[in-house]
């Protein structure tokens, strides 16, 4: 009884404070700020919302409000008004309480569409695994072709950048005639346009992405041509199989010097030898990367949202479906047919099974007879040509709302919904792996089942050891740090000599490796994001930023290595040179950019846009002032100080 009385007293006290605050607001604030802080007057047109605490609001009100006589609302009155404002309409929680509940359909974003199609393709092959070793597997033969008896050496080459000249490439392999076979995979970290460059003075053939897909064919050498370029869209977190056959043929005329290099131009980067951290020596399953250009998604909330549906997006999805249909007929259907070659079924029966399985995976669950008739049977009946039938079926499946809107199917089981959510969260994709599909089909992810939470947690842990999560992780961290991996960073060459494209590319590699270390470590101690006292560096970075790092391998000057720990100093991601270079101008540093970044991205606070844009004061016009003093001079106006009292000290 005493407890009930105390609770009632507290609630009554809170109600009285809100009533007092409401009365004071109505008397002194309503005329300017309007009902529920909606504004509307000439002086205060903006809505009264934000993320200041009650204490900060109290201080502002006591010092400045009401504008005509700030002494009218101080002390307990100021606090009562602050509590009323904060609770009723100012805070984010208050805004959420006021918002009417609505249901919005959310389609796949561009990233999710690319990843979903890649996994829909890979379902018919196999799932790649995360590898620790780096480089490409190499086999050296003392002959002009694959000959087991003439195999002299097998090893892992960390990069492909060899100039053998007229010398023997390795011991036991003669320069006059030899054959080298490299195999492995290219691991891509960020989605975007990549240019693959191969320089070869000898006969060479390169397969990429699929065992039958010849990207570059110089098997019959082109006279005088030694450089070959191909541009394509690649998807972050994916592994693309690579096979290179390099042959020095015996000839009566003078042999050309043997040279081969595998380079690339990544998004926003410059041409460089593909570094070892992006090469894997293990074979990777065949992979699909959508080449259709997709329109950008809405990022008004700071992340991609699939909210806009218009003609441009619809046309892009249709083009993507047609592209996927062509690949399904050429690569996926033969794979399925080969896998079921011992089945006594006729070709069309087998093809029906292929398209049904494709629809099952695309629609994130088994389809019923009516759905099969629409998406599979009718399309097979409409054409005797297998490729056209596959293209028709894929066009309907990929453009179907059941594929494009992951949460639309209300008939899905609880297990299906959980599996879909896991795949979207971890991979930006759909459930396509055999293991996850088995969990769903056996209803092991049903939230109503006993120990369901433990099974879901275990499934998530199993899914986390996957290269696709690597791409999702890097996208998350780069978004958080407001670093666009494809953005060009240019500085004044007179002031910052040596800050060029290759240096920026090494900075991206350094930051990527740092984030990867912390994310994939046994402890995954995220405090290391701020407290680590060493960095990843290259010879180029060491030369630009200073000495004191570990020795470099002279055979691989561009290899990432660990710098020596610097006790007492931290090299966390917030002070990483790549992050700092984004938060600065062409010629000067920018404390304001840094302060805004820390407030929004680290402290999670919001800031109103500045009243007007301005150009920073030129240091040459104020040679006697420090950077801090110039910033204080420029932002000293009372209107600026509302935000810059927070921004400047942090920056």
pLDDT tens track for 390-423: 999 999 999 999 999 988 777 788 889 999 999 9
The per-residue pLDDT for range 46-80, each reduced to its tens digit, is: 788 888 888 888 888 888 888 888 888 888 888 88
Cis peptide leading into 387, omega within 30 of 0?
Answer: no
In angstroms, what CA-CA distances link 587 with 439, 486, 563, 584? 56, 21, 28, 8
pLDDT higher at 26 or 371: 371
CA gap 468, 473 in Å, rounded:
9
Tell me the mean pLDDT in the region 607-615.
72
Tell me the mean pLDDT in the region 233-246.
95
CA gap 254, 179 in Å, rounded:
18
Considering the chain, what is the average pLDDT of its residues?
Answer: 87
Predicted local distance difference test score (pLDDT) of residue 111: 95
Q: Which two tokens stand for residue 366?
A: 């088994």
Q: Tell me the torsion sign for CA atoms 554, 245, 232, 357.
A: negative
Shortest CA distance to 496 belongs to which of 487, 507, 486, 485? 507
Q: What spatial distance separates the first Cα and last Cα of the chain, rounded to whole Å? A: 54
Helix (H, G, I), strand (E, B) or coil at 548: coil
pTM of the prediction? 0.84
Shortest CA distance to 627 belongs to which of 574, 583, 589? 589
Q: Confidence band (pLDDT; 50, 70, 90) for 555?
A: low
Tell me the mean pLDDT in the region 243-250.
93
Tell me the mean pLDDT in the region 439-457.
88
Helix (H, G, I), strand (E, B) or coil at 228: strand
Whether 104 has a pLDDT exceeding 80, the answer reads no
pLDDT higher at 218 or 292: 292
Beta bridge partners, 194, equal 232
Contact, 229 vs 196, CB < 8 A? yes
Contact, 245 vs 204, CB < 8 A? yes
CA gap 353, 375 in Å, rounded:
12
Whether 103 has a pLDDT exceeding 80, the answer reads no
Whether 17 has a pLDDT exceeding 70, the answer reads no
Helix (H, G, I), strand (E, B) or coil at 526: coil
Q: Tell me the torsion sign for CA atoms 5, 11, 15, 18.
A: positive
Predicted local distance difference test score (pLDDT) of residue 13: 42
Q: For residue 382, how many C-alpha atoms fall within 13 Å in the half-sphere facing its CB?
A: 14
């Amino acid at each position: 009884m005493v407890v009930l009385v105390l609770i009632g007293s507290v609630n009554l006290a809170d109600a009285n404070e809100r009533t007092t605050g409401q009365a004071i607001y109505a008397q002194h604030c309503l005329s300017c700020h309007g009902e529920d802080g909606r504004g509307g007057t000439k002086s205060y047109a903006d809505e009264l919302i934000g993320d200041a605490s009650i204490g900060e609001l109290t201080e502002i009100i006591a010092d400045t409000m009401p504008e005509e006589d700030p002494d009218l609302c101080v002390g307990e009155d100021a606090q009562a008004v602050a509590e009323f404002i904060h609770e009723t309409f100012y805070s984010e929680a208050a805004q959420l309480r006021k918002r009417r509940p609505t249901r919005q359909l959310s389609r796949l974003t561009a990233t999710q569409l690319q990843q979903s199609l890649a996994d829909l393709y890979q379902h018919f092959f196999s799932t790649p695994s995360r590898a620790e070793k780096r480089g490409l597997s190499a086999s050296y033969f003392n002959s002009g072709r694959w000959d087991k008896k003439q195999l002299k050496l097998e090893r892992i080459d960390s990069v492909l950048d060899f100039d053998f000249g007229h010398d023997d490439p390795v011991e036991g392999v003669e320069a006059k005639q030899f054959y080298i076979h490299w195999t492995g995979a290219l691991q891509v970290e960020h989605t975007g346009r990549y240019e693959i460059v191969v320089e070869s003075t000898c006969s060479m053939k390169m397969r990429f992405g699929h065992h039958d897909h010849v990207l570059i064919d110089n098997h019959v050498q082109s006279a005088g041509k030694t450089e070959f370029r191909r541009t394509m869209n690649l998807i972050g977190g994916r592994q693309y199989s690579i096979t290179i056959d390099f042959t020095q043929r015996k000839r009566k005329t003078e042999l050309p010097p043997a040279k081969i290099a595998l380079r690339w131009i990544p998004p926003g980067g410059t041409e460089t030898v593909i570094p070892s951290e992006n090469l894997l020596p293990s074979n990777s399953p065949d992979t699909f990367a959508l080449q259709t250009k997709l329109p950008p998604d809405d990022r008004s909330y700071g992340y991609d949202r699939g909210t806009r549906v218009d003609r441009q997006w619809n046309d892009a999805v249709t083009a993507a479906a047609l592209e996927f249909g062509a690949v399904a007929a050429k690569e996926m259907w033969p794979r399925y047919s080969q896998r079921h070659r011992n089945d006594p079924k006729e070709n069309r029966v087998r093809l029906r099974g292929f398209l049904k399985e494709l629809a099952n995976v695309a629609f994130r669950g088994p389809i019923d007879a009516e759905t099969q008739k629409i998406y599979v049977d009718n399309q097979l009946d409409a054409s005797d040509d297998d490729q056209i039938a596959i293209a028709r079926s894929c066009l309907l499946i990929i453009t179907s709302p059941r594929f494009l809107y992951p949460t639309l199917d209300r008939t899905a089981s609880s297990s299906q919904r959980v599996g879909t959510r896991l795949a979207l969260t971890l991979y930006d994709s759909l459930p396509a792996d055999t293991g996850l599909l088995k969990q769903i089909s056996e209803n092991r992810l049903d939230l109503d089942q006993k120990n369901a939470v433990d099974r879901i947690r275990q499934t998530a842990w199993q899914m986390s050891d996957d290269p696709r999560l690597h791409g999702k992780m890097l996208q998350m961290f780069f978004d958080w740090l407001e670093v666009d991996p494809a953005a060009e960073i240019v500085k004044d060459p007179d002031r910052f000599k040596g800050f060029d494209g290759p240096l920026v590319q090494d900075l991206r590699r350094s930051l990527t490796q740092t984030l990867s270390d912390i994310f994939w470590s046994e402890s995954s101690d995220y405090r290391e994001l701020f407290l680590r006292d060493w960095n990843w560096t290259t010879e180029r970075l060491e030369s630009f930023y200073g000495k004191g790092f570990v020795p470099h391998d002279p055979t691989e000057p561009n290899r990432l290595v660990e710098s020596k720990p610097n006790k007492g100093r931290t090299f966390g991601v917030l002070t990483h040179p790549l992050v700092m270079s984004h938060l600065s101008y062409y010629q000067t540093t920018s404390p304001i950019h840094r302060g805004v970044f820390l407030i929004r991205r680290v402290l999670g606070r919001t800031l109103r846009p500045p009243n007007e844009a301005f150009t920073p004061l030129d240091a040459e016009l104020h040679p006697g002032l420090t950077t801090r003093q110039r910033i204080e001079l420029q932002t000293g106006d009372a209107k600026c100080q509302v935000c810059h009292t927070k921004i400047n000290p942090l920056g």
